[in-house]
Amino acid sequence: MELWRQLLQEQQSSNFSELAGAQASLLLPVSDRLVSRLLLERAPPEWAVTITDVRADPGDQVVVSVRLKKAAFLPFVRIRFAIERQPALPESPVLVLKLAPDLVTTVAGRFLNRLPPGVTFDGQRVTIDLSVVLARFQATETLLRYLSDASITTRAGIFVLSARFGPLGVTSG
């Protein structure tokens, strides 16, 4: 494994010159249980809510169950989102989720304040700037540099990440 890591680092330092033109595609199904766990473990402490569950529903629908931290005795609330816009890489690494138009979701949306850097809420839509959100993780800047397309879709219980990388070793100009 160390040999592959070293080879990858050497190629990266030369802008993948010896792999010029290489492209790769990725289709990664991720269970909503894993997404829920990751969000619960990494949610900023300043959030007004605790995420208790994230569910992927068919048709690019996402249901997030939250509980108010300061009123934990209240039942959790489900907020339904529809994936409205995918990132357009590299120009606009932004994912947009639109609130479902129902009373419970609209009221629950009022608690979407104090979001982490790169995540904004305008009353109807949550906008996630992937370049800002992912910057908290190591090597993300490098990853985004080579990512040419990405999308997130859903089916029952599964988030599906599709990504295309490359072409590598190609410089513009």
> Is 12 a domain residue?
no
pTM above 0.85? no
| Within-domain flag for 79 | yes
Query: Is there a domain that residue 14 lies in?
Result: no
Structural domains in the chain (count): 1
Tell the residue number behind the tokens 């949550």, with chain if given. 126
The reply to whether 72 falls in a domain is yes
- Asked whether residue 113 carries a pLDDT value surpassing 70, the answer given is no
- What pLDDT is stored for residue 45 in this prediction? 76
Q: Which two tokens stand for residue 69?
A: 């931290």
**Residue 83 covered by a domain:** yes
Assess whether pLDDT exceeds 80 at residue 62: yes
Q: What is the pLDDT of residue 40?
A: 84
C-alpha 112/C-alpha 102 separation (Å) is 16
Q: How confident is the model at residue 9 (pLDDT cuts 50, 70, 90)?
A: confident
Quick check: is 73 in a domain? yes
The answer to whether residue 170 sits within a structural domain is no
Residue numbers of the domain that contains 90: 23-164
- Identity (one letter) of the amino acid at 145? R
In a domain? residue 64:
yes
Q: Give residue 106's pLDDT.
A: 57
Secondary structure (DSSP) of 3-59? HHHHHHHHHHHTTTGGGTT--EEEEEEEEHHHHHHHHHHH--TT-SEEEEEEEEETT
**What 3-state DSSP class applies to 114?**
coil
Average pLDDT estimate for 116-134: 86
Residues near 41 by beta carbon (within 8 Å), at least 6 away in sequence: none
| 98 sits in which H/E element | strand 94-99
